[in-house]
């Protein structure tokens, strides 16, 4: 009985810690996307930024959408890479 309580208390202690770490990593990734955008886009497209065609900074929501888009593209690329590896293994 005491061991069950220990297992439950261990889970109750570890889950909030993991949740805090996941949220912190998520916020840092969004911050990095915002900073990289603000650092590179005005230098790459100065005329478009000056004309208002491209924004100089992005919102947190836009950074989130870019993170989702990048992760989907990475997943597709990884799946395609794995598919090509399986094709090569079958041929060779």
**What residue spans define the domains of the chain?**
2-91
Spatial distance between the Cα atoms of 66 and 36, rounded to a whole number of angstroms: 12
**Which residues are CB-neighbours of 15 under 8 A, at least 6 positions away?**
none
pTM over 0.85: no
**Which residues are CB-neighbours of 67 under 8 A, at least 6 positions away?**
29, 30, 33
Write out the two tokens for 35: 């900073």
pLDDT digits (tens, 9 = 90+) for 63-83: 999 999 999 998 888 777 766
The number of CA neighbours under 13 Å toward the Cβ of 72 is 6
Spatial distance between the Cα atoms of 57 and 71, rounded to a whole number of angstroms: 21
pLDDT digits (tens, 9 = 90+) for 22-61: 999 999 999 999 999 999 999 999 999 999 999 999 999 9
Question: Is pLDDT above 60 for 1?
Answer: no
């Amino acid at each position: 009985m005491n061991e069950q309580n220990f297992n439950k208390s261990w889970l109750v202690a570890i889950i909030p810690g993991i949740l805090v770490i996941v949220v912190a990593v998520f916020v840092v990734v969004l911050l990095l996307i915002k900073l990289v955008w603000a650092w590179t886009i005005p230098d790459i497209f100065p005329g478009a930024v000056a004309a208002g065609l491209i924004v100089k900074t992005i919102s947190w929501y836009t950074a989130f959408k870019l993170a989702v888009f990048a992760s989907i593209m990475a997943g597709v690329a990884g799946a395609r890479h794995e598919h090509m590896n399986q094709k090569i293994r079958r041929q060779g």
